Structure formats: structure tokens, C-alpha cells
Amino acid sequence: MTHAATSSTPIPFGPRLPYDARMRLRSDIFVSALVRRVFSSGGFAAVARKGAEEAGAIYVRQRFRDGLETLYGPVPQSLMAEEGRDDRGFEVRLTRVEAGEVDALLAREGRFDPDYWVVELETDDLDGVLPIAGGEG
């Protein structure tokens, strides 16, 4: 005997949803799209560290020709909600510093959350490539 999967309780749609139906893009898909955007804009990108595929935090190292780096990290989701956004956002964590400073900050992050991603970019302009909180990118 087979049983049909039916329910007498209708599924709520629209503004009556009992949960937040917005979904965030998986980390692996976001990273893949980021790498493609950088390459299509003429820059270089590489995944330096793979994290959790579904929800790993993503850090972006922007390398400059003078050897300095800027590190971008994830914006807390509460701040993204304040901006009315449900996607991923980034904020500057370190600006134009030596690579060792970036390595040290990422090592501290690894002790707190070992499932993070690191994407290295060699491009001067992140406009339209990386969503930076506060309106840039």
C-alpha cells in the first residue's frame, strides 16, 4: 500500500511565512563566481584556502604591485540586515599592510573558525567585483 504525501494544512506563502525565506549563496559558489568576475575584468584570482563549502567565512586578500595587501573579511550578518541586504558583504580588516600582518590575522581567525576560505586577488579595482559594506564594490 502506498501513501500519498498530502497535508490538510496549506503551506503559507507571501508575507505570512513563519521564517525568513531568503537564502544566502553557498560559499563555494560565491568563491567560484568571484574568481570568474576577477578573471573577466582582467585580474588574477586564486583560492588559497578552501573552507566549508556551504557556509565557510570568506576572506579576500587583495595584492598590490608594491607588495602590500588589503584584507577584506565578512561583514556580520546583522549589519547586512541593517542595510536591507541578505547577500554576502565584506569590510576592510587591514589596509595596505605587509603580507605577514595578513598571515597573522588569518592565523588568529583559524584558531577561532577553521572552516574559512581565503581568495587571493591581483587587481587594482574591486568595483563591481566584491560587495563591500558602505557602498563600495
Three-state DSSP class for residue 8: coil
Please compute, for residue 105, the number of CA atoms within 13 A of its CA located in the half-sphere on the CB side: 18
pLDDT tens, residue by residue, 6-55: 545 554 444 544 444 456 789 999 999 999 999 999 999 999 999 999 98
Question: Do the Cβ atoms of 48 and 106 come closer than 8 Å?
Answer: no
pLDDT tens, residue by residue, 119-130: 999 998 898 899
pTM for the structure as a whole = 0.77
Domain boundaries of the chain, sorted by first residue: 45-127
Q: Does domain 45-127 have CATH number 3.40.1530.20?
A: yes
Q: Which pLDDT score, from 0 to 100, does residue 121 have?
A: 97
Contacts of 74 (CB under 8 A, 6+ apart): 57, 58, 59, 88, 89, 90, 91
Give the three cell numbers for residue 59: 576572506
Q: Which pLDDT score, from 0 to 100, does residue 80 have?
A: 55
C-alpha to C-alpha distance for 36 and 38, rounded to whole angstroms? 5
